[in-house]
């Protein structure tokens, strides 16, 4: 079996993209969460130095034996990814997710969403983010939680709430509006809600959602135990997601179910381009308090990239017999849920 590392600065969104790609290949990777000292954490990947000086002892080390495949994400992972490439004398196949901000030729493969600008012969351009919401994972989580959520009526709506980040804000007034619109779905369509907030949602906003939805058929994850996020996606007939996270929107769009996007206050040109592309492709629609039904080809970026890696490893003469080679959409199990109103 090929040995695989996942290399990030520990950011959940970055790590999950790498894990999703490794899992699509049937690999159980070793996770390397690195930490850079100042000033390298500020200026990575532009400020080059021996990695021994740049790495902080609070993170994982980068040392042999070198992996067959290293999957890294985010600019702060770039120094470690380059070190793996250099120290393994090129034996390690190094994949960098997201624009590394340096020439892609430093890596074996670079994976960027369409709204990033990096291009080249070894660059794979995706519609959205890579993720772990595979059909297999969703099927497992649906089976685990189906009985517990059986009391919720159809149509069931998964609601994924993000919150404040560098570009967007979830304000009190917007939270009130979202809660009222969600309550309206229950009253108008008889919908059942499955709501999962994030750490960025904020305690006051979560309390507000609970207060407004407490008398309605709605489950709101309380933040304890395992997040039922994947079960909600699998068991939903439609998905509502805030637009502050490309990852969450990409995961929702991989299901083939109607995806509604709630825009938070603020703006990012890259996020705007991403949302415009998905709307133009007929994948997402803005959430306006209504439920509709439509069809589209699910986003399949993780499988597409995994297949490209397998092909390139095979070209290099690597034994890929132990990999779970990606299947086509037609060969995959159907997801749970069919919007019927």
Distance CA 153, CA 142 (A): 16
Task: Kindly state the average pLDDT of the residues 295-311.
Answer: 95
At residue 48, the pLDDT reads 66
Q: What does residue 220 show for φ and ψ, rounded to 5 degrees?
A: -120, 120
Q: Report the chain's mean pLDDT, rounded to a whole number.
A: 91
Q: How far apart are the first and last CA of the chain?
A: 48
Higher confidence at residue 309 or residue 39? 309
Cα distances (Å, whole numbers) of residue 292 to 185, 189, 270: 11, 11, 27
Q: Is 107 exposed, middle or buried (0-12, 13-18, 19+ CB in 10 A)?
A: buried
The residue ranking higher by pLDDT, 41 or 2, is 2
Look at residue 47 in the predicted model and tell me its pLDDT. 66
Note the pLDDT tens digit of each residue in 78-93.
Answer: 999 999 999 999 999 9
Cα separation of 176 and 171, whole Å?
A: 9
Q: What is the pTM of this model?
A: 0.89
C-alpha–C-alpha distance, residues 19 and 336, integer Å: 23
Q: What is the DSSP letter of 334?
A: P
Give the pLDDT confidence of 182-230 residue by residue, as tens digits.
Answer: 999 999 999 999 999 999 999 999 999 999 999 999 999 998 999 999 9
Q: Is 260 exposed, middle or buried (0-12, 13-18, 19+ CB in 10 A)?
A: buried
- 58: Cβ–Cβ under 8 A, 6 or more apart, which residues? 35
Per-residue pLDDT reduced to its tens digit, 50-66: 677 788 888 899 999 99
Query: For position 130, what pLDDT does the model report?
Result: 97
pLDDT band (50, 70, 90) for residue 34: very high
Residues 241, 255: Cα–Cα separation, whole Å? 13
338 vs 171, residue with greater confidence: 171
- What is the Cα–Cα distance from 125 to 117, expressed in whole angstroms? 9
**Residue 72 confidence (pLDDT) above 50:** yes
Residue 18: is its pLDDT beyond 60? yes
Contact 238, 155 (CB under 8 A): yes
**CA–CA separation, 328 and 190 (whole Å):** 35
In Å, what is the CA distance from 153 to each residue of 142, 149, 334?
A: 16, 9, 21
| Domains along the chain with CATH numbers | 4-127+302-322 (3.40.50), 135-286 (3.40.50.2000)
pLDDT at 191: 98
Residues 87-113 have a mean pLDDT of 95
**290: CB partners within 8 A, 6+ apart:** none
Please count the CA atoms within 13 angstroms of the CA of 243 that sit on its side-chain side: 25
């Amino acid at each position: 079996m090929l040995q695989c590392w996942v290399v990030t600065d520990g950011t959940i969104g970055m790590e999950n993209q790498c894990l999703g790609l490794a899992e699509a290949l049937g690999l159980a990777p070793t996770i390397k969460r690195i930490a850079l000292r100042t000033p390298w954490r500020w200026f990575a990947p532009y400020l080059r130095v021996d990695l021994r000086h740049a790495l902080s002892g609070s993170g994982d080390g980068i040392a042999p034996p070198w992996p067959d495949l290293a999957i890294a994400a985010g600019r702060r992972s770039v120094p470690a990814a380059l070190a793996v490439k250099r120290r393994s004398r090129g034996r390690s196949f190094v994949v960098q997710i997201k624009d590394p901000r340096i020439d892609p030729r430093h890596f074996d493969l670079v994976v960027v969403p369409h709204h990033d600008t990096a291009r080249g012969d070894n660059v794979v351009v995706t519609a959205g983010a890579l993720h772990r919401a595979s059909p297999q994972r969703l099927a497992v989580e649906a089976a685990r939680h189906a009985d517990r959520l059986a009391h919720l009526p159809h149509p069931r709506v998964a609601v994924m709430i993000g919150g404040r980040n560098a570009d967007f804000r979830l304000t009190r007034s917007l939270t009130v509006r979202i809660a009222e619109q969600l309550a309206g779905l229950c009253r108008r369509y008889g919908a059942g809600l499955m709501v999962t907030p994030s750490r960025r949602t904020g305690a006051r906003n979560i309390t507000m959602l609970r207060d407004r939805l407490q008398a309605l058929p709605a489950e709101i994850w309380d933040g304890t135990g395992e997040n039922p996020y994947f079960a909600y996606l699998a068991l939903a007939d439609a998905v509502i997601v805030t637009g502050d996270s490309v990852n969450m929107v990409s995961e929702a769009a991989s299901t083939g179910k109607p995806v509604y996007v709630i825009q938070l206050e603020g703006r990012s040109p890259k996020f705007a381009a991403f949302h415009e592309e998905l709307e133009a492709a007929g994948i997402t629609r803005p959430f306006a308090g209504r439920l509709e039904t439509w069809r589209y080809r699910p986003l399949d970026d993780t499988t597409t990239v995994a297949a490209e890696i397998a092909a390139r490893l095979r070209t290099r003469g690597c034994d890929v017999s132990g990999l779970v080679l990606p299947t086509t959409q037609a060969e995959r199990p159907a997801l749970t849920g069919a919007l019927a109103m």
